[in-house]
């Protein structure tokens, strides 16, 4: 019986592919969708590109959109970054400069 317990404790169980561990998604995001940008509502508007979000246990596409610029800032896009065996979404944000 002790040998069985030892053998079972050595088994590696891969994480559930739909699971999130400490905020890290264990499923790689799909390739970004190709978006057709409509004409901007104003000449100075900034395009916020679409991205894959993790919602309800799966990747869900969030479409891009135009927004008014923030004076003195530029937009940094949403980005999935590798973290260990999974992926973490780095939110898009405005940066001064």
Which tokens belong to 40? Answer: 């901007």
- pLDDT of the residue at 96: 97
- pLDDT of the residue at 13: 36
Contact assessment for residue 53 and residue 89, using Cβ atoms and an 8 Å cutoff: yes
b/e string for 20-39 if b means 16 or more Cβ within 10 A? beeebbbbebeeeeeeeeee
Counting as low any pLDDT under 70, the low residues of the chain are: 1-18
- pLDDT of the residue at 52: 98
- pLDDT of the residue at 55: 94
Segments making up each domain of the chain, as ranges: 17-96
Token look-up 């530029």 returns 74
- pLDDT of the residue at 6: 40
The DSSP secondary-structure symbol of 22 reads T
Residue 3: φ, ψ to 5°: -65, -40
- pLDDT of the residue at 88: 96
- pLDDT of the residue at 23: 85
């Amino acid at each position: 019986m002790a040998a069985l317990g030892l053998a079972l404790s050595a088994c590696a169980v891969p994480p559930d592919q739909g699971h999130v561990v400490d905020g890290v998604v264990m499923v790689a995001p799909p390739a970004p969708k190709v978006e057709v940008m409509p004409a901007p509502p104003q000449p100075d508007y900034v395009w916020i590109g679409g991205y894959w979000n993790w919602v309800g246990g799966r990747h869900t596409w969030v479409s891009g959109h135009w927004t008014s610029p923030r004076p003195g800032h530029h937009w940094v896009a949403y980005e999935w970054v590798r973290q260990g065996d999974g992926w973490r979404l780095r939110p898009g944000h405005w940066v001064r400069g």
